[in-house]
Structure 1
Amino acid sequence: MTDGTPEAATGVLRPHAEQEYADELARLAELDERPRPPGWRLSPWAVTTYLLGGELPDGTAVTPKYIGPRRLIEVAVATLATDRALLLLGVPGTAKTWVSEHLAAAVSGDSTLLVQGTAGTPEEAIRYGWDYARLLAEGPTEKALVPGPLMRAMRRGAVARVEELTRIPSDVQDALITILSEKTLPVPELDTEVQARRGFTVIATANDRDRGVNELSSALRRRFNTVVLPVPASLEDEVEIVSRRVARLGRALELPAPAAGLEEIRRVVTVLRELRAGRTEDGRTRLKSPSGTLSTAEAISVVTGGLALAAHFGDGVLRPADLAAGLHGTVVSDPAADPVVWQEYLETVARDRPGWRDFYRACREILP
């Protein structure tokens, strides 16, 4: 882990939130005169302002990190100020991980205390592990103990993050119950326990498309307050989200800012929104939806890939031809059923839509 300053993150492809936005966090802390919960670096008001953006009393502009309903973020922040953990639930691409990282950065100044949930996540990732060389030589001792992210967060009074909670096997999930209910992590091998310091909490994320994979037990779900993050409500909101994230990724990858890029971003977002909803934006034409999720995350990926093509193999201007292949690959995830859906969209919507002729041709050229 680096020291959290912008200089420390120089050359890093993907700085942590507390590194990239260190200046904003520092300024918020300096001007924040509201009450702060124990162990918090900012007040709940300042945390919400950091997430949603705004203007500080001295005129400093805070960039929005999340574009969506304010009340959802207020509920999430208020939950962290209680003794309950927070579960961010939503379909893929609704910024659950993004929100969880920025909440942790704003509350405790460290977003790196992370457990990445997978089908192979062991219980040691939730609790603790052992340095087996020391364990064999000395037996169970404090020095042989290897604390996991949650134990470190408990000792420091910080925020721990658990990504993709429902991907973790059910018996491993249950290791969280004592931590969340008693705020204690027993270490029976040492006949001791770790008690959480004030400020400790857990933010977990889960994909509601994963229901039936490893569903949470009722005992564990009761320990969480659930906030459902929705897909962007409007085309304009989603275009703004994609534009901001693409610009951030472009700077990290040192891609040149594209000319007329906003028009193409709007087109990509429109296509994915219409296919996702099963109808055109004006509601006049019903459409078949492909098998994939077609989330905001996919739109960001398509546009970023198009930027790379425009920068390295074109004239730097983002054009439909730079986006067609990426969009085709995103929409056609099921090679049996999705090609029909995509071709029908091109013929019934894109072909005759004003200003979309070049886009239609570029997409048709790569059809098999």
Structure 2
Amino acid sequence: MTTIDPAPGLLRPHAEQAYAEELRALAVGDDRPRPPSWRLSPWAVVTYLLGGTSADGTVITPKYVGPRRLIEVAVATLATDRALLLLGVPGTAKTWVSEHLSAAISGSSTLLVQGTSGTAEEAIRYGWNYARLLAEGPSDAALVPSPVMTAMRTGAIARIEELTRIPSDVQDALITILSEKTLPVPELGTQVQAAKGFNVIATANDRDRGVNELSSALRRRFNTVVLPLPDDEDDEVAIVVRRVEQLGVALELPRIPAAAEEVRRVVRVFRELRSGITADGRTKLKSPSGTLSTAEAISVITNGIALSAHFGDGTLRAYDIAGAVLGSVIKDPVADRVVWTEYLEAVVRERPEWSDFYRACREITG
């Protein structure tokens, strides 16, 4: 398996840094039509996301494991005048997909607005250098462009994370930008018109519905693609193994094989608890309050490897992952503890091959 080669000294390289060689190889051999300002053709962007081989034989590692049609729809949307909204529960790789789409299309994933309850309109439109504003009055030199304004000027992709966390009145600053492809600057009597290639990728957590719902006017400007949790256990195991290996390289953790047995065990625990039924379909279960996503499974295994490397014998064992599993499942200390205890006694205890995991969990659970 090909792994990332992070830029030296960086804890978390941007996609365009970590996968620069793959992007270069795809661009060199890409003879398909490219929309204005795109670094790659839509076909090559999909290949970059889903994996394949470039014209010169370079292996393109999969960045996303899931239905090909979803990624094709997402890429095709960005080649039109409609913005893209990636929707899903936490841990379904919305941010990951957004970053890699931006890297492949624009060569940069850093034109980013992080949505929070405190995000102001200036983060989407523009702000001011107040020292220059007071000294000189409104001027181009005093204006501080937002990532969205910069993307409009350069014909690039702007990213907006957690759109539904942003207050509704601030969200609506996007309406004119997305419909007219124009950002007025009334203080200067001017406007910024979007260059060809400009578009927006927004992400939203469907568990945030009701927090700051998108207005119907804004929702119409987006094409929504729902990213699901992996349907197949083998696919989810493959995702976890790949991302754990990549994180191990980036974090410079001592090399410890991510034991397939432990990875599959964590994935199965999470899948059974979030679906409310065991893998064999025989036992119905209560589900905890958390999402128990693939991203959390990756975190559990990575934490287990760190424990084994620094405090264990260098082999990933049940005892190394038990604590992190418990922390992922029990978000509500009362209700979730009941759910976990019932699962532990009714399911884990009845699987002889999981006896080591049962003992480790009981020791930590108390």
TM-score, scaled relative to structure 1: 0.97
Q: Aligned letter for 1:12? A: L
Q: Name the SS of the counterpart of 1:274 in structure 2.
A: helix
Q: Aligned letter for 1:182? A: E
Residue in structure 2 matched with residue 269 of structure 1 by the alignment: 267
Distance 1:258 1:224 in 2: 43
Residue in structure 2 matched with residue 202 of structure 1 by the alignment: 200
* More moved, 171-180 vs 241-250: 241-250
Q: Is the 8 A contact 2:98 2:159 kept in 1?
A: yes
Residue in structure 2 matched with residue 345 of structure 1 by the alignment: 343
Q: Aligned letter for 2:88? A: G
Residue in structure 1 matched with residue 332 of structure 2 by the alignment: 334
Q: Aligned letter for 2:341? A: Q
Residue in structure 2 matched with residue 320 of structure 1 by the alignment: 318
Distance 1:193 1:259 in 2: 55
Distance 1:85 1:260 in 2: 39
Deviation, 1:59, is: 2.5
Residue in structure 2 matched with residue 189 of structure 1 by the alignment: 187
Deviation, 1:6, is: 6.5
Report Cα offsets for 1:230-262 as digits up to 9, x if no partner: 000110011111111111111111112324622
Number of equivalences: 363
Q: Name the SS of the counterpart of 1:152 in structure 2.
A: helix
Residue in structure 2 matched with residue 113 of structure 1 by the alignment: 111
Q: Map of 1:1-368 to 2, 5 A cutoff?
A: 9-259=7-257, 261-368=259-366
Distance 2:260 2:217 in 1: 47
Report Cα offsets for 1:155-201 as digits up to 9, x if no partner: 11000000000000000000000000000000000000001100000
* More moved, 331-340 vs 161-170: 331-340
Q: Is the 8 A contact 2:258 2:301 kept in 1?
A: no
Question: Structure 1 259/43 Cα, relative in aligned 2: closer, same or farther at 3 Å?
Answer: closer
Q: Name the SS of the counterpart of 2:225 in structure 1.
A: strand
Distance 2:224 2:109 in 1: 20
Q: Name the SS of the counterpart of 1:166 in structure 2.
A: helix
Q: Share of identical aligned residues, percent?
A: 76
Q: Is the 8 A contact 1:6 1:22 kept in 2?
A: no
Distance 2:350 2:163 in 1: 45
Report Cα offsets for 1:73-116 as digits up to 9, x if no partner: 00000000000000000011000000000000000000000000
Distance 1:120 1:79 in 2: 29
Q: Aligned letter for 1:322? A: D
Q: Is the 8 A contact 2:262 2:317 kept in 1?
A: yes
Distance 2:44 2:26 in 1: 6
Question: Structure 1 6/325 Cα, relative in aligned 2: closer, same or farther at 3 Å?
Answer: closer
TM-score, scaled relative to structure 2: 0.98
Distance 1:192 1:348 in 2: 67
Distance 1:35 1:131 in 2: 41
Distance 1:160 1:235 in 2: 33
Distance 1:342 1:217 in 2: 39
Report Cα offsets for 1:242-283 as digits up to 9, x if no partner: 111111111111112324622111100100000000011111
Report Cα offsets for 1:110-143 as digits up to 9, x if no partner: 0000000000000000000000000000000000
Distance 1:117 1:316 in 2: 40
Distance 1:208 1:6 in 2: 33
Distance 1:56 1:19 in 2: 18
Distance 2:209 2:95 in 1: 18
Deviation, 1:60, is: 1.9
Q: Is the 8 A contact 1:165 1:205 kept in 2?
A: yes
Distance 1:262 1:12 in 2: 28
Distance 2:113 2:260 in 1: 36
Q: Is the 8 A contact 1:39 1:198 kept in 2?
A: yes
Q: Aligned letter for 2:124? A: I
Q: Is the 8 A contact 1:279 1:285 kept in 2?
A: yes
Distance 1:55 1:266 in 2: 28
Distance 2:191 2:16 in 1: 30
Q: Aligned letter for 2:203? A: T
Gaps of 5+ in 2: none
Q: Aligned letter for 1:112? A: T
Q: Aligned letter for 1:265? A: V
* More moved, 87-96 vs 345-354: 345-354
Q: Is the 8 A contact 1:302 1:326 kept in 2?
A: yes
Q: Name the SS of the counterpart of 2:230 in structure 1.
A: coil
